[in-house]
A and B are shown apart, each in its own frame.
Chain A
């Protein structure tokens, strides 16, 4: 009996305890339901504002694409950047830029994608003109490289010049030199004991020109002809009526920063002229006799020497730069006529560069032939009507000059507008483009590596994206 009472008492307590569960469960359900509702509401609001943020981000990414394309155009590239198949990465988004060449104008169309944001903007620009220094070694009529001569490249923004290893023909190099011509390019051959001419980089003749490569001569890069001729800008050198400058031997002349003009600068034996930049020197004639020295110090600013009629630097003279900045010194001459100036019965060429270097900078003689001897090594670029690189002579093209705008003009914006999104699977997918690319094993390229050089057709094919993205995301 005792045990029965005890059981009854236990049953009663357990019944009472269980009944609490029901209201507790209801309360929990109610609270959970409310929480879920608020959470969903909050999420939908957050999503809505995220879409707005994404749209704005995509707009800025597209704008970044246009800016990159502009930079490319200014550097002489095509203007197209990356492609829909392999876009360029920018922050949390990607972009690609297509270009339509309209002769002297170009229309760029940039598509930017970030998360769910999509935007496309377009700009039409008038093409700029490049600095002649970016042409590298360029001859209007012809380029001749004699035995043992060599043209290669370096990048002064990375470091000083180091002799590159010559790769096998067609192998190419990360630091290709640029040799070009509106006519033909001739590389003299060598023999078993003496090497032929060497170009570590591209040699691109004019549209109807050819590259003649002798035995043992080497061109490591492209020899494809250019699609169009290049017009060299004309030099107009205005010279006021001035006295000549003829320093006396043994008395150095130091020209501080400023602008100077003389009818003639004639440096006799043992005379020295030192020019400190920034300076502009305008002359009608520049003559350096044997034993004279003309120094350019561009460490504080660029020095530009413009000569109208005659440049004569004989063997044994020194014409050199003290700084290694290739954008800090330039010799520009409009000389074109061969005249017998020393009255020996033989016409003197308009430009003679037989001096000793080295010279860091630009030599520009659009109407005269230029012969560079082995003693006059040039770091930078040489552009002339005809160029001959003498036996064992060296020219080291500075690829930093590819970005030079000195003497050139930048592309000019004509119009800008927001345009419709292009037909593209990547655009149509509502997913984060970086995820879509990752799923499809595509690594977006860096913008600076995504430019197209002129003459190369950009990849305009629309990719048929694989679409297991949904399965992965959801």
Chain B
């Protein structure tokens, strides 16, 4: 066996070797890419779910704190259960002067639909000096599990309740909120939350 033959045999790969190695590499790379893509999609969905969850909780907390500080006697909705109200009117204590509570002008938390469904806060609603702040968007038209058919579809005691609904029961108020946002796969990500708060004033 001459040295030249030895060197030539040690250089390069055969066609079969190359084919097998390329096929294996392609298989592995394909799998990795598939896993990455799947993970990325899952992460994206998870992100949207988390965002929707955080937004729903933040919004509900904000509404709850407002209702907690409301004056019980001046808290009302337009309709009562089983009909649901998508807005609530109230006044709250904004300070104390000489030991006497000072009450705010009329305020309203309501579901508004222009340009998109949103939770809006109003001060002096309908008045000349009305203030309007949008607290959160992506509000769902109707509560999760509810469709507009005159029936209590989700069996929570309310008929056709909206994405934001209030039920006043003495000093207690039940608040339900449903946030919806389209996910990366096109399917909507929905978060529905409910809480009960008691007016402190």
Residues of A within 8 A of B (CB): 1, 5, 8-9, 12-13, 34, 38, 41, 45, 48-49, 52, 55-56, 59, 102-105, 107, 123-124, 413-418
Contact = CB atoms under 8 A, between A and B. Distances in A.
B10 A416 contact: no
A416 B36 CA distance: 52
Given A48-B54, A49-B50, A56 B201 contact: no
Contacts of A49: 50, 54
Contacts of B47: 41, 45
Given A5-B3, A45-B47, A52-B54, A418 B99 contact: no
Nearest to B95: A417
Nearest to B200: A416
Interface range on chain B (Cβ under 8 Å from partner): 20 to 34
A5 B8 CA distance: 12
B11 A12 contact: yes
A416 B96 CA distance: 10
B3 A105 contact: no
B79 interface: no
B35 to A, nearest CB: 11
A123 B93 CA distance: 10
Interface in B180-201: 200-201
A391 to B, nearest CB: 49
Interface stretch (B61-69, B81-89, B134-142, B152-160): B61-69
A185 to B, nearest CB: 34
Nearest to B3: A5
Contacts, number: 61
A102 B99 contact: yes
Contact of A417 (B10, B11, B50, B92): B92
Given A49-B50, A102-B99, A418-B69, A56 B7 contact: no
Contacts of A56: 61
A413 B200 contact: yes
B43 interface: yes
A417 B7 contact: no
B96 A107 contact: yes
- The 3 A-B residue pairs whose C-beta atoms are closest, nearest first, are A416-B200, A415-B101, A105-B99
Contacts of A13: 10
A103 B101 CA distance: 15
B15 interface: no
A124 B7 contact: no
A123 B181 CA distance: 39
A124 B94 CA distance: 12
A1 B61 CA distance: 86
Contacts of A8: 3, 7
B131 interface: no
